[in-house]
Structure 1
Amino acid sequence: MTKASPLVFGRHTGHEQVVFCHDAGSGLRAIIALHSTALGPGLGGTRFYPYESEDAALEDVLHLSRGMTYKNALAGLDHGGGKAVVIGDPELDKSETLLRAYGRFVESLGGRYITACDVGTYVADMDVVARESRWVTGRSPAEGGAGDSSVLTAFGVFQGMRAVAERLWDGTSLAGQRVGIAGVGKVGSKLTGLLLDEGASVVATDVSEHAIDQLRAAHPQVDVVGDTTELLGAGIDVYAPCALGGALDDDTMTLLTDGRVAAVCGGANNQLAHAGIEKSLDDAGVLYAPDYVVNSGGVIQVADELHGFSFDRAKAKATKIFDTTREIFQLAAEDGVPPAVAADRLAERRIAAVSRLRDVYLGR
């Protein structure tokens, strides 16, 4: 008899709350995970994805929500970590009724969780969810929102790459460097444009033919290859995973080393497939810009929406991703640890310092 995997408590992830949401009429099967509200309400997107099992969906939402705790902390936001996943194929299962049912579950948490777009959900979807809940960001400008958050996500990754360039090549420009982008959807396509404008060359891959067709139409000078194996062997200087998580595993490590890739800096969440990969990257001399640091431009954008959105204000905050990434590289060098460890320490330091202030009684 096979031993069942632990549901939540046995995983020892430190989550405060995990909510399973089901509405049979619409077919909604969703999980909302709140990792920490030490800095404020949990903020993080809703992922709509055809998970092979409930256990796989739970595993993903637990990882993603924990990552949001650290991402929001290092982005300087007064928000904790939260995330949601909807189980299903967004092309087949998404409907107004399902999204509104989901919105009612978000509303039921009373503001402890604030949602936004993620893989499989879009601005138009958030407008529908917002018909049932106040706690929704990433809405359209017509509905008082900020619109597509991938704009500043890509911009933030670009700022992280500038810090990589400074660390490796004594200058913040990517001009003359070759960047390999895996996943040219919402974020990857915008990152491509920024890099080309900077004078870098780009080689790309994506499992979606539609995404590749759109990329070729917009940027015909980009080299397109069949898969990630080809991408990592294409003589690139920087590898930018911009699709789903787990992009950095043991097999990828071999390819990175064989291809002599100098750095990893991309928009995907949870890039490290398992513990120890960060040390393998460091030992191999591959500079890793922690994903939750460099891809925080999107959450900076949607958080700003809560205060009456200003693109210029949000972009100014996202520009600081360069400074944060640079600080992490410096701390890593001083402490003799991988950048991922240095980033965790910096985030935990802020969480501890700010949450301690909650012990001060304000008289209400």
Structure 2
Amino acid sequence: MEHELVITRRGHRTGLPITVAVHSTARGMAAGGCRLTHYPHWRDAVTDALRLSAAMTGKTTLAGLPLGGGKTVVALPAGHLPDRRALLLDVGDTIAFLGGRYATGPDVGTGPDDMAVIGERTEHVFCRPASAGGSGDSSEHTATGVIAALRAVCRQRFGSPDLAGRRFAILGLGRVGGHVLRLLAAERAHLVAADTEDRGALAARHGATWVSPRDCLAADVDVLIPAALGGLLTAASVPALRCAAIAGPANNQLDVPATADLLHERGILWAPDVVVSAGGLIHATAVELLHETPEQVAARLHGIGDTLATILQTAATTGVTPATVVDQLITQDQDRFAVRH
């Protein structure tokens, strides 16, 4: 096992198993979201925590943060929901038990208000509402990072970072996707949008053409922006793509690593989501855990574009996929810290 620490602890209020996986603290305290969702068995939640925490190490590494990777995952019981406040307090106790080795923030099933409740039991939490002394909703900052990444992608693929006049398809208009829509509309981009929810009015308000999710995925555009759930890119979906590039905030966009090779074979430039989606994490941790100035935080957010540009150029020069370059960078960084320690 490559993880430093994995703990599954039964919450004394709810009786539910709470798993925290700390993948690495080589760069500093581990950081990662708190996920509350349904699983067939609580052991499946442990498996997910292992996978997600390892991905967080990659995200903090590529973002240049002095932090490691971790994750909290709670398997909710089928058929009924526990007392939410009691569950969040149980989560807070579990994180406090680790004594500062790990800090948590929002993930699937949680938000800033939940972080405030967890914060009643531990100081090792981020993304609390501003009214509770935190940095608030991270979605706008995630979108800022996405725009920086899109400029890097357009520069690499089309020779210019300009977004005006470019055609983008945004799949998912939730909190992050909605902000991306607004920012691209302000750049005078041509937009297509879709969601499983009825957000057609939001799309129309920003001049986007509303289509079905299937049509959005196969839209003839410059860049496809996955902004919903992961696993979108598969051996079955890649042949239907008509975009020149893909870059978006959805996590775990590839169903399996080999799908990156399929995209490469089709000449579709894929920007690894571990880089593109880091804006929210960067802002929240830089503000609340690292106590950086607004200028320092802004520089980190815009640095997403520089990081991605280097990755894309290295991939183009060496003839490998951007995913391969990312894996190499993360491995090199972990090896360097392992030698140092």
Alignment CA distance shift 1:323-1:105 (3 Å): same
User: 1:293-327, CA deviations, whole angstroms, 9 ceiling, x for partnerless residues?
Assistant: 11111111121111336444312211001110010
- State the shift of 1:86 in Å: 2.3
User: 1:310-349, CA deviations, whole angstroms, 9 ceiling, x for partnerless residues?
Assistant: 4443122110011100100111122221001101212222
User: 1:33-77, CA deviations, whole angstroms, 9 ceiling, x for partnerless residues?
Assistant: 111122111111112222343344333322221111111001111
Q: Does 1:43 align with 2:31?
A: yes
1:215 corresponds, among 183, 187, 202, to 202
Counterparts of 1:1-364 in structure 2 under 5 Å? 14-23=2-11, 25-26=13-14, 28-88=16-76, 92-93=81-82, 95-209=84-198, 212=199, 215-216=202-203, 219-227=205-213, 229-256=214-241, 260-304=242-286, 305-308=288-291, 310-358=293-341
Could you say what the CA RMSD is over the residues aligned between the two structures, in angstroms? 2.1
One-letter code aligned to 1:339: P
Looking at structure 1, the residues matched to 47 and 194 of structure 2 have their Cα atoms a distance apart, in angstroms, of 27
Looking at structure 2, the residues matched to 27 and 174 of structure 1 have their Cα atoms a distance apart, in angstroms, of 51
Which stretch of the first structure deviates more once superposed, 38-47 or 52-61?
A: 52-61
Alignment CA distance shift 1:89-1:191 (3 Å): farther
* 1:251 partner SS: coil
Alignment CA distance shift 1:238-1:291 (3 Å): same
- State the shift of 1:355 in Å: 4.4
- State the shift of 1:221 in Å: 1.8
* 2:179 partner SS: helix
Percent identity (aligned): 39
TM-score, structure 1 length as denominator?
0.87
- State the shift of 1:199 in Å: 1.4
Looking at structure 1, the residues matched to 259 and 326 of structure 2 have their Cα atoms a distance apart, in angstroms, of 15
One-letter code aligned to 1:145: G
One-letter code aligned to 1:41: M
* 2:106 partner SS: coil
| 8 Å CA contact 1:21, 1:102 repeated in 2 | no
Query: What is the match of residue 3 of structure 1?
Result: none
Query: What is the match of residue 5 of structure 1?
Result: none
User: 1:217-253, CA deviations, whole angstroms, 9 ceiling, x for partnerless residues?
Assistant: 7x352222222x2112332221111122212111221
Looking at structure 1, the residues matched to 75 and 222 of structure 2 have their Cα atoms a distance apart, in angstroms, of 36
| 8 Å CA contact 1:175, 1:199 repeated in 2 | yes
Alignment CA distance shift 1:94-1:172 (3 Å): farther
Deviating beyond 4 angstroms after TM superposition, the runs of 4 or more aligned structure 1 residues are 89-94
> Aligned pairs, how many?
339
User: 1:108-157, CA deviations, whole angstroms, 9 ceiling, x for partnerless residues?
Assistant: 11111110111221111101100001110111222221111112111111
User: 1:67-94, CA deviations, whole angstroms, 9 ceiling, x for partnerless residues?
Assistant: 1111100111111111122223899546
Alignment CA distance shift 1:222-1:70 (3 Å): same
Looking at structure 1, the residues matched to 281 and 312 of structure 2 have their Cα atoms a distance apart, in angstroms, of 22
Looking at structure 2, the residues matched to 40 and 122 of structure 1 have their Cα atoms a distance apart, in angstroms, of 24
Looking at structure 2, the residues matched to 53 and 204 of structure 1 have their Cα atoms a distance apart, in angstroms, of 35
Looking at structure 1, the residues matched to 203 and 74 of structure 2 have their Cα atoms a distance apart, in angstroms, of 31
Looking at structure 2, the residues matched to 28 and 170 of structure 1 have their Cα atoms a distance apart, in angstroms, of 53
Alignment CA distance shift 1:240-1:98 (3 Å): same
* 1:45 partner SS: strand
One-letter code aligned to 1:53: H
TM-score, structure 2 length as denominator?
0.92
User: 1:175-206, CA deviations, whole angstroms, 9 ceiling, x for partnerless residues?
Assistant: 11221122211211111111111111222222
One-letter code aligned to 1:240: I
| 8 Å CA contact 2:88, 2:117 repeated in 1 | yes
Alignment CA distance shift 1:200-1:220 (3 Å): closer
Which stretch of the first structure deviates more once superposed, 328-337 or 22-31?
A: 22-31
Which stretch of the first structure deviates more once superposed, 124-133 or 91-100?
A: 91-100
| 8 Å CA contact 2:223, 2:246 repeated in 1 | yes
Looking at structure 2, the residues matched to 213 and 310 of structure 1 have their Cα atoms a distance apart, in angstroms, of 38
Alignment CA distance shift 1:150-1:350 (3 Å): same
